[in-house]
Amino acid sequence: MTMKSKFGPYKGSEQNGGRPIYVFKKKVAGKTVTTSSNKARVEYKEKTGKTLSKKTDVNHKNNKGRAGSDAMSNLNTISHKKNVGKENKRRAGKR
């Protein structure tokens, strides 16, 4: 039996736009495995009860970086491919 613990949310890195993350620790075969996940993704999964594939991202409709809202009304699911395209388009507009 594995026991999973959730820590956070912690401030995200510059790499993920500063969005908050949760850290998970669980024991597997006597070793501690540490993983992390975006706060919006974790809370979306908890509130909807849906399991999301690795190819599905939780998208912020109104994307304002760390100032953005993680409220359920501001979140939706989108394919990873579409989300990357949307982000690249947003970044290109900043130049």
Angle at 39 between CA 19 and CA 6, to 5 degrees: 130
Rounded CA gap, 69 and 27, in Å? 33
Strand-pairing partners, residue 5, are 25
pLDDT at 62 over 70: yes
Radius of gyration in angstroms for the set of CA atoms belonging to the chain, rounded to a whole number: 15
- Direct distance between the N- and C-terminal alpha carbons of the chain, in angstroms, rounded to an integer: 51
pLDDT tens per residue across span 14-59: 887 788 899 999 998 889 999 999 898 999 999 999 999 999 999 8
Count of domains in the chain? 1
pLDDT tens per residue across span 3-17: 689 999 999 888 877
Rounded CA gap, 67 and 4, in Å? 29
Residue 22 domain boundaries:
4-92
